[in-house]
Structure 1
Amino acid sequence: MSGIYNRTDPVPYFETLGTLGYCIPQEAKGTVRALINALRKIRRRPETSLLDIGCSYGVNAALLKYDMTFEDLREHYTSMADIPRDGMLREDAQFFSDPYDPELEVIGMDTAHRALRYAIDAGLVDGGTTVNLEEDDCELTPAHRKLLSRADLILSTGCFGYVTNRTLDRLLECGQDNHPWMCHTVLRMFDFTDAAEALAAQGYVTEKLDRLTPQRRFVDENERKQVLANLEELGVDSADLEAEGWYYAQLFVSRPVQDARDMPLPSLLANP
Structure 2
Amino acid sequence: MTTLALTIAGSDPSGGAGIQADLKTFSALGAYGMSVITALTAQSTQGVDDVFAVPPEFVKAQFASIIKDIQIDSLKIGMLMNKEIVLAVSELLKASSVPIIVLDTVMVAKGGHPLLKTDAVDAIRQRLLPLATVITPNLPEAAALLQCDEAISEEQMQEQGKALLQLGCKAVLMKGGHLSGAESPDYLITPEQILRLTAPRIQTTNTHGTGCTLSAAIAALLPQMPLIEAIKEAKNYLSGAIAHADDLQIGQGIGPTHHFYQWW
Alignment TM-score, normalising by the size of structure 2: 0.35
Alignment TM-score, normalising by the size of structure 1: 0.35
Q: Which one has the largest radius of gyration?
A: 1
Higher relative contact order (CA 8 A, sep 6+): 1
